[in-house]
Amino acid sequence: MKEIIIGTRGSKLALCQAEEIKEKLEKNGNKCSLKIIKTKGDKILDIALSKIGDKGLFVKEIEEALIEKSIDIAVHSLKDLPSILPEKLCIGAISERQDYRDVIVSKEGKKLLSLPHSSLIGTGSLRRKALIFKLRQDFIFKEIRGNLDTRLRKLEEGEVDALILAAAGLLRIGLGDKITEYFSTDIMLPAVGQGSLAVETRKDSGEILHILKKIDDPESHISAIAERSFLIELQGGCQIPIGALAEVSGKKLTLEGLIASLDGKRIIRGKIEGGKNRAEELGKELAEKLIKDGGEDILKEVRK
């Protein structure tokens, strides 16, 4: 096999993630190199994600490079990958999932409920906003874009009083000591795929697909299928407050999901269990259940 060219964004976190996959591939005797590709999401930093849409914002240019064969594989945070991929592409591997929880990083080391009244909270995620609104209605939210280093610097400079982030990102770049508080999934169900890395490639890359199978984590992959199936059925994305978490135990799969109104006042939440070989079906079934339980009204309202 010739050298495998890995496409990645250029942020510190993206490079750490690409290096993680590169290391796994090289342990299996493959020669690899990284190719940095700038995406639309890296260039537009002054507009909220929920306003510019999320269809491939951080992956479109990388996927184009895959289709054009200037790279062989691409490494993404799974939560950034659109639920529907281009026809010629597929997920070749999901690496072992890291910590899927959301966390708070505050300047003075205060936990969420200890923050002063009307604190400025940095997050662009509608899911995080809605679930925090459920706990505290006095907070003021501020869109903070940019890579992790940029967001942490803005916190230090006093632009916000706290940031809500994914634990996995901070842990991957060695900044776990910055975390003030880990949120229980009872309070904040994570984004679909949060904590997982997806390796995307071409469907016709037989040799590459065979190589990727060796670094795939089956349980993480099954969880990803269930969560993404749930998201697809709801036709959701960054513009809709949706959370999901699938976990495999033996032959059993448990999937929990929620749909929230933007103000956090209405949250439709449910759980389903079944055989892990039914991951896709379980995702659809849970989505249908939540829609029937009142989620349809919330989705219509949010999409307006």
Catalytic positions, written as ranges: 80
Structure tokens at 285: 């079934």
**CB contact at 8 A, 142 and 175:** no
Q: In this structure, what token pair is assigned to residue 147? A: 């890579």
Enumerate residues 6+ apart whose C-beta is below 8 A from 106: 115, 155, 161, 162, 163, 180
Answer for the pair 78, 94: CB distance below 8 angstroms, yes or no: yes
Rounded to 5°, angle at Cα 223 from 97 and 208: 70
- CA pair distance 78, 56, nearest whole angstrom: 12
User: CB under 8 Å to 124, separation ≥6 — which residues?
Assistant: 48, 49, 50, 143, 144, 145
Residue position matching structure tokens 């984590």: 217
Distance between CA atoms of 245 and 263, rounded to whole angstroms? Answer: 22
Sheet strand arrangement including 140-142: 140-142, 120-122, 162-166, 102-106, 181-182
